[in-house]
Structure 1
């Protein structure tokens, strides 16, 4: 019995004894019981549970403070230490890193309030390319159907080149009518201001006057004869009245012809001549206006430039004077004269002035820099972003075809240095006004 009991007891112990892995797990669980390990009462555990959230809050606050300081430094508000001899990474032509804020200053911007040294990098900021002169071309004071188009997008055109033709039937008829009115006015004025009366006209007027005088004498004799016969009773009163009326008519005709002969000898009156001259001037003005409208049926390029967009095509009705009909035919610009528009924060605008040297690099190819100069600072600020727009004039290299790479609306990086821009005739394509530009 004792042997059996001992055997069963040993078997039970062998079944209850844990494996090595189970013992390791039990030890880890016991280590996690802080109260038992530290030998503290349950009350101390509750006090630790109260302070643990505050400790976590303090750690989170310290972590966020570190993140804020790092973002403050990366935002460009604290400039890094300058490189050798005060140069910056962007001075070699490579764009520096930008802050995540739109239009914000780069990390190479000097500390606000400091006086920049000559040649120092003042600002490096993103901008967009815009044409210095862009024209939305439309017919001038005329409307009609487009009959012909002689361009497409991207074509380079010369000033005065015909780009489109508008149907000109109505304007051509108006021109012919104005020509006829001028001819009639000239003939009338020439008739009134003749140098001398022709002999044939004078002889004709004198003959008509003699004929009228003879008729007047005959009518007078007829009245006298009828008056003498009235006493005998052979002439009625009606016949005598009719003869008397013929006498008065003959006298009036003689007076009119005498006055016409006098006017023919004296010439036209000054008032009639001046009125004819005014009519001629009016007719000539109408002819000039009709000719101008007829010429405007051919839409010509006002400048040398490149066609950017085509708005109308053959068969389209264009009318600059109507709100319900398309007014333009195309838009064009001179791509040899490009500018970059940047938004400068108000706290940095005091460093920017006209005439500063710039470097423009397109995002499409940063290794293709362009020389540029600060052209003007806009007179009004943008209160929604607290920035002031600045225009930078870009000079294309000699030999580069305008529009071959740098195009309107491209994104670029503009770097502004604290030194005056000097135009180089050996490398820069001129704008034509370099002799009138002086830095501030």
Structure 2
């Protein structure tokens, strides 16, 4: 279920900006794929033209050198032909280097364009993910215990003052009772031990349960060890008699007693019978008052 919806203006703008960047990166990649072969063809054509022009100037220079022996060509014409031939040679070399600069890095240019597309796609994915997070969905099936914000409030998880959470949520079918057992009695408590739990406000409504864990550190000031008791809530009874933060009374059963029996017997009408408090081990600690979590 949806718990809240946050303002999306900034995130919508980020998504639009990321889509534009992705479109630009794709266009650039497409242009690179089309333009690189064209640039190579144009550079080769210019190089071929320069080579032809150089060869022409070379032929002209050789012919005028032969004609100079008959004194029909002036020295200035020969010098000009030599200058044109040398310039054409330099132009050929320049165009050949320009062609190499296009051919050699063409693969790298395409990889750079493809990397830009990948980066734009990741930015778009991140922007859409952030926008999707503006819809706050409950992570578990549960009940809202407390609403901490109103419409228009700013929620900051790291704030010292103000709202740092939207609401308090709990699964009322998955409750535990935390209680302190004195160190002198802890040897008779073990994981999986059957228990009977009664809410202080509804002591005529018992619940089956079992010891789920013994905490790894003791409470020195109380001389006790924290123990968690898992409560078995019958279907349809969630939050009716046993609620978070309520006081509860827990009684423990003897080790090995009724191990072969189910946690609760079945009455002829199909309802579950409440455990008999007389079955509790009298040698165990007195029923302990604790809080429900």
Compute the TM-score of the two structures, normalised by the length of structure 1.
0.48
For the Cα contact (< 8 Å) 1:209–1:257, is it kept in 2? Answer: no
- Report the CA distance between 1:410 and its aligned residue: 1.0
What is the distance in 1 between the residues matched to 2:83 and 2:153? 76
Q: Secondary structure at the match of 1:370?
A: strand
Q: Secondary structure at the match of 1:291?
A: helix
1:311 paired to 2:151: no
Q: Secondary structure at the match of 2:196?
A: strand
- Report the CA distance between 1:303 and its aligned residue: 0.6
Q: Aligned residue for 1:299?
A: 136
Q: Aligned residue for 2:168?
A: 331
Q: Aligned residue for 2:88?
A: 247
Q: Aligned residue for 1:343?
A: 180
What is the distance in 1 between the residues matched to 2:239 and 2:222? 31
Greater Rg over alpha carbons, structure = 1
1:377 paired to 2:217: no
1:212 paired to 2:53: no
Q: Aligned residue for 2:126?
A: 289
- Report the CA distance between 1:385 and its aligned residue: 1.2
RCO higher in structure (CA 8 A, sep ≥6): 1
- Report the CA distance between 1:308 and its aligned residue: 1.1
What is the distance in 2 between the residues matched to 1:207 and 1:300? 64
What is the distance in 2 between the residues matched to 1:220 and 1:386? 108
Q: Secondary structure at the match of 2:19?
A: helix
1:409 paired to 2:250: no
Cα distance, 1:321–1:408 mapped onto 2, change above 3 Å: closer
After superposition, residues 115-194 of structure 1 pair within 5 angstroms as 161-188=1-28
What is the distance in 2 between the residues matched to 1:272 and 1:427? 76
- Report the CA distance between 1:286 and its aligned residue: 2.5
Unpaired runs of 5+ in structure 2? 273-293
Cα distance, 1:325–1:287 mapped onto 2, change above 3 Å: farther
What is the distance in 2 between the residues matched to 1:214 and 1:324? 81
What is the distance in 2 between the residues matched to 1:410 and 1:204? 84
Q: Aligned residue for 1:121?
A: none
What is the distance in 2 between the residues matched to 1:367 and 1:321? 44
- Report the CA distance between 1:279 and its aligned residue: 3.9
For the Cα contact (< 8 Å) 2:212–2:230, is it kept in 1? Answer: yes
- Report the CA distance between 1:368 and its aligned residue: 1.4
For the Cα contact (< 8 Å) 2:47–2:92, is it kept in 1? Answer: no
- Report the CA distance between 1:427 and its aligned residue: 5.7
- Report the CA distance between 1:337 and its aligned residue: 0.8
Cα distance, 1:333–1:219 mapped onto 2, change above 3 Å: farther
Q: Aligned residue for 1:40?
A: none
- Report the CA distance between 1:384 and its aligned residue: 0.9
After superposition, residues 65-104 of structure 1 pair within 5 angstroms as none
Q: Secondary structure at the match of 1:327?
A: coil
2:202 aligns with one of 365, 373, 376:
365
Q: Aligned residue for 1:355?
A: 192
Cα distance, 1:258–1:308 mapped onto 2, change above 3 Å: closer
Q: Secondary structure at the match of 1:375?
A: strand
- Report the CA distance between 1:338 and its aligned residue: 1.0
Cα distance, 1:213–1:322 mapped onto 2, change above 3 Å: farther
For the Cα contact (< 8 Å) 1:193–1:268, is it kept in 2? Answer: no
Deviation digits for residues 302-345 of structure 1, max 9, x if unmatched?
11111111112211112335556633111101011111112211
What is the distance in 2 between the residues matched to 1:284 and 1:173? 16
For the Cα contact (< 8 Å) 2:182–2:223, is it kept in 1? Answer: yes
What is the distance in 1 between the residues matched to 2:134 and 2:117? 26
Aligned length: 258
